[in-house]
Amino acid sequence: MKLTMASSPHNHSHKALNKLMMTVIAACVPGIIAQCYFFGSAVLIQILIALISVSAFEAAIMKIRNKAIWPSLSDGSAWLTGVLLAISIPPLAPWWVIVIGCLFAIVIVKQLYGGLGFNLFNPAMAGYVLLLISFPVQMTAWSPVSELLVTPVSFIDQLALIFTQTTTSGLTLEQVRAGIDGVTMATPLDTVKTAVSQGYTVTEAMQSAVFADYAGKGWMWVNLAYLAGGLFLLWRSIINWHIPVAFIFALAFCSAVGYIIAPGSHAGLIFHLLSGATMLGAFFIATDPVSACTTDRGRLIFGAAIGVLVYIIRTYGGYPDAVAFSVLLMNMAVPLIDHYSRPRTFGHGGAQ
């Protein structure tokens, strides 16, 4: 018999990497459908551009490194990065925005550090932050939900806006984004942040047409859809519960305390949980197994810290949403957290 020598761990998972990645992508489908319903099918165009871009960049870098192309592509990690980046940017952003984001995410953040398993940062969020800092106008050009648009935007017009920045009738993106009140409308998070900085209360800010009963129109249902997808991942044991639960609990706790102390300038619990990229970040981004903590205690610390940072940046920082920044900041702290949250070695400290 042949004796095989191998290092630990010896209890391996029987789940193939590409199946895991495809399951995560499949779990994004409810959220993608909700985004398409409220913000138009341009979301699908951005996803298609992203998938083509990440595939091309992954193949090119594998060719340069003299490695097999298909094994790297078929694991699905690049495709998941492309999908997460595409659904994070405004649907009508110019085509070159998603291409640049994919280039940075795949070539710099993922492959420059050695490929899958060696990247220090979440590639999709690193690409998103690069785009947000470099192209703030394009990255903040979110349209209001379809029902608030003065001029309906057909699929052809959405395609034209992405590739030419004007519709077939000559309307610019700014003109398309004009809502029922005739002015360019911001996202719910940005609306509250801007209004509070101008001396209005949160209650007064939420009188804007972009809000429903509890959170932003459309955004509330998008978050609930990603929550459903996240619960599916938990049910299938694709992700651990520690990070999303700690993230959501910390954000809920901070928002509840802030609202109790200063209800006029701090939005409530439901608003924070169902706005922006909260559920997408909690279940699909922060749980990245490569750039997150590896111990159970570390995951709880990691998730809770992200939740606290999201609340602090949303409330006191310069950006309306903060999931990407919070995740990247905590990615840098992962080695330190893992070092101090390691479980006690078996037999350590016991009787001699």
Nearest to 316 by CA among 262, 270, 260, 280: 262
Report the alpha-carbon distance of residue 159 to residue 202 in Å, rounded.
Answer: 36
Query: Phi/psi of residue 216, each to 5°?
Result: -70, 145
Position 343 scores a pLDDT of: 74
Residue pair 264/202 in contact by the 8 Å Cβ criterion: yes
Report the alpha-carbon distance of residue 310 to residue 278 in Å, rounded.
Answer: 9
Nearest to 265 by CA among 326, 325, 206, 324: 206
CA atoms within 13 A on the CB side of 266: 19
The conformation of residue 144, written as its DSSP 8-state character, comes to P
Across 76-85, b (16+ Cβ under 10 Å) vs e yields bbbbbbbbbb
Position 218 scores a pLDDT of: 87
Report the alpha-carbon distance of residue 59 to residue 67 in Å, rounded.
Answer: 9
Beta bridge partners of 184: 178
List the structure tokens of 23.
Answer: 């399951």
List the structure tokens of 92.
Answer: 């009508």
Residue with tokens 């490194």: 65
- Return per-residue pLDDT of the chain as tens, 352 residues: 566 655 545 545 556 888 999 999 999 999 999 999 999 899 999 999 999 999 999 999 999 988 888 888 888 899 999 999 999 999 999 999 999 999 999 999 999 888 888 888 999 999 999 999 999 988 988 888 877 777 778 889 899 999 998 888 888 888 777 754 444 556 888 888 888 888 888 888 888 878 877 788 889 999 999 999 999 999 999 999 999 999 999 999 999 999 999 988 888 899 999 998 999 999 999 999 888 998 999 999 999 999 999 999 999 988 888 899 999 999 999 999 998 888 766 555 544 4
Position 183 scores a pLDDT of: 47
Report the alpha-carbon distance of residue 316 to residue 197 in Å, rounded.
Answer: 10
Beta bridge partners of 211: 216
Look at residue 216 and give its three-state secondary structure. Answer: strand
**How much is the pTM?**
0.89
Sign of CA dihedral 249, 251, 253, 256: negative
Report the alpha-carbon distance of residue 331 to residue 338 in Å, rounded.
Answer: 11
Position 208 scores a pLDDT of: 80
The conformation of residue 9, written as its DSSP 8-state character, comes to P
Look at residue 211 and give its three-state secondary structure. Answer: strand
Q: At what angle do helices 155-164 and 42-64 cross, to 10 degrees?
A: 40
Position 81 scores a pLDDT of: 95
Long-range contacts of 313-317 (CB under 8 A, 24+ apart): 314/189, 314/193, 314/272, 314/276, 315/258, 315/266
List the structure tokens of 151.
Answer: 């001029």
Nearest to 264 by CA among 185, 188, 186, 195: 195
